[in-house]
Amino acid sequence: MDALEDLQVWQRACRFSVGTFRLLADCREYAFRDQLVRSSLSVPSNVAEGYERRAPRERAQFLKIAKGSCGEAWTQLLIRVQAGILDGEKAMFLADEAKQISKMIGGLIRHFENQNRK
């Protein structure tokens, strides 16, 4: 397997997390901000944790958590745009990125689940 730093999904998840931090830097809605920061940070963190596991089943489990965090972050971004808390264009770019990362993670999950069946 490639080095973690070489995994495109991990790289994109890290950029997504950084983008979310930057978008929320001036946000004074602390409860909203903290929840979105946690969910966006969970994505690359769980990809990394799954990468460090040996068993395909364990890898898939951490990737499922990362995928769930993508959905959580996507939802939070949409709600914040609708509430007028975040810049719509930047937040929608990040929301789309969360959906794309989720699809990539879904492919990895299928890969590891198929490995587990062998």
E strand segments, the chain: none
Distance, in Å, from the CA atom of 14 to the CA atom of 12, rounded to the nearest integer, reads 5
Looking at residue 1, what is its pLDDT? 56
CATH number of 29's domain:
1.20.1440.60
pLDDT digits (tens, 9 = 90+) for 17-63: 999 999 999 888 899 899 999 999 999 999 999 999 999 999 999 99
> How many domains, the chain?
1
pLDDT digits (tens, 9 = 90+) for 51-95: 999 999 999 999 999 999 999 999 999 999 998 888 889 999 999
| pLDDT at residue 117 greater than cutoff 80 | no
Is the dihedral angle over the CA atoms 2, 51, 9, 87 positive or is it negative?
negative
* Token code pair at residue 106: 């879904």
User: Which residue segment(s) compose the domain that 69 sits in?
Assistant: 4-117
80, 57 contact by CB (below 8 A): no
Confidence (pTM): 0.92
